[in-house]
Amino acid sequence: VAEFMHFCSKMLVKEPKERGKSPAMILFCSFEQQFPLIELAKKYGLNNYINLVFRKNFSAQVLKANMRIVGNCEYGLLFYRDKLPKFNNNGKMVFNVIDWELDKKGTPKLHPTQKPIALLKKLIKIFTDEGETVIDPVAGSGSTLIAAHKLNRHAFGFEIDRIIYKKADDWLKREIIMKKEIEEYGFAVSELRETGYSLF
């Protein structure tokens, strides 16, 4: 974990002089992992944090539902150095409890810890601007990269599992093609072909 935190701290750009332009790092974790991660982050200059709670309207603990209260939340930490990070709230209050929106039907499920694109888009919109860069050092399915691409951000991801990498790479390439087709034709020609329908 220390190597990961060191790597992430080096990937964050330096804090600019202007207020409200600083970078941030979001780390998904379990409730129990939050406290040791907060202390570890301080060793790498990430001195401040905001707890994040991602609230689901379902629970993976269905079998325990008749025995006890079941969990329906995932947790995360927003780390930053000294200055508050960029914050695009459009004049609205943003709570640290965020609804977990499921992906649309048909979205590939490539990795066991894959995060929903809608959730990732929400976070990316708040903490980055168009044209900026999003980095996911544990890219897995590539859903962070796809969310960033949909929002006109540059994105880089790292994945050590070759099989997962190949699946994520294929998915990302399809999404890039579809976005270009939608911009050019108003709909995704390649998606239409996959259904077996034709307009001609």
Contact between 34 and 77 under an 8 Å Cβ cutoff? The reply is yes
What's the angle, vertex CA 81, arms to CA 88 and CA 44, rounded to 5? 140
Report whether pLDDT(158) > 80: yes
Same domain membership, residue 90 and residue 6: yes
Same domain for 62 and 108, yes or no, is: no
- Please identify which residue in the block is written with the tokens 């325990």: 64
CATH classification at residue 197:
3.40.50.150
- Of the listed ranges 62-71, 126-135, 148-157, the one predicted with least confidence: 62-71
Token reading at 81: 């150095």
* 124 and 113, same domain (yes or no): yes
Summarised one tens digit per residue, pLDDT across range 168-194 is 999 999 988 888 888 888 877 777 666
Q: Is-contact 119 54, C-beta < 8 A?
A: yes
pTM: 0.87
Claim to verify: residue 96 and residue 129 sit in the same structural domain: no
Residue that terminates a domain, selected from 100, 132, 162: 100
**Whether residues 118 and 78 fall in one domain:** no
Clarify whether residues 90 and 124 are in a common domain.
no
Average model confidence (pLDDT) across the chain: 90
Higher pLDDT, 60 or 13: 13
- pLDDT tens column, 98-108: 999 999 888 99
The confidence score (pLDDT) of residue 10 equals 92
User: In total, how many domains does the chain have?
Assistant: 2
Looking at the fold, whether 96 and 109 belong to one and the same domain comes out as: no
Domain coverage including residue 174: 103-200
The residue among 100, 117, 139 that closes a domain is 100
Asked whether the predicted pLDDT for residue 17 surpasses 70, the reply is: yes
Q: Is the pLDDT at 197 greater than 60, yes or no?
A: no
pLDDT given at position 189: 73
Same-domain status, 1 and 70: yes
Same domain as 194, residue 111: yes
42-94 tens-digit pLDDT? 999 999 999 999 999 887 777 666 778 888 899 999 999 999 999 999 999 99
